[in-house]
Structure 1
Amino acid sequence: MEYSLAMTFVTTSGDKVSMTITDVKSNITEVEASALMDTIIAKDIFLTKSGSLASKYGAQLTQRQSTKLDVQ
């Protein structure tokens, strides 16, 4: 199974911006996700059309499972 972490931030202008990280570990905790988001905000390396990331809005861990079909 593949897991991804979608994080939503609020920018300095008040807009919401999301980013997704794929292939995260399946047992990532809320504390770890929150700490990652805090680090992303503190480092201020992402600039969006509506400004820098200012605060956390939410996060979501998504699980994706695919089954390969043999259709010869």
Structure 2
Amino acid sequence: MAKTLVMNFLNEEGKKTAIRVNNIREDITDLEVSAAMDVIIQKNIFSSTGGDLKFKDSASITDKTSSELSVK
């Protein structure tokens, strides 16, 4: 099962933009994600079409599973 961390930010225009990180650790904590989001904002690592990322909005972890189907 592949887990993806989705971190949502608000940019200079107030629009939501997401950064996704695939294959995260199973034991990642809220505190670690919040700290990482703070660093992304402080260091101005990423930009979006609406400008620099300015505020944390939300974060979530999604689980994806896939099953092969025999269709031949």
TM range (shorter): 0.7 to 0.9
2:29 aligned with 1:4, yes or no? no
Deviations, residues 17-70 of structure 1 (Å, cap 9, x unaligned): 111110101221111110111111111021111110001000001112234456
- How far the C-alpha of 1:5 sits from its partner, in A, is 0.2
Unaligned runs of 5+ in 1: none
**Does the residue aligned with 2:8 lie in a helix, a strand or coil?**
strand
Measure the CA separation in 1 of the matches of 2:15 and 2:69.
Answer: 42
Percent identity, aligned pairs only? 36
CA RMSD across the alignment = 1.5
TM-score, structure 2 as length reference: 0.86
2:56 aligned with 1:56, yes or no? yes
Which residue number in structure 1 is paired with residue 13 of structure 2?
13
- How far the C-alpha of 1:2 sits from its partner, in A, is 1.1
Which residue number in structure 2 is paired with residue 31 of structure 1?
31
Which residue number in structure 1 is paired with residue 46 of structure 2?
46
The alignment covers a number of residue pairs equal to 72
Unaligned runs of 5+ in 2: none
**Does the residue aligned with 2:26 lie in a helix, a strand or coil?**
coil
Measure the CA separation in 2 of the matches of 1:34 and 1:50.
Answer: 22
Measure the CA separation in 2 of the matches of 1:14 and 1:21.
Answer: 22
TM-score, structure 1 as length reference: 0.86
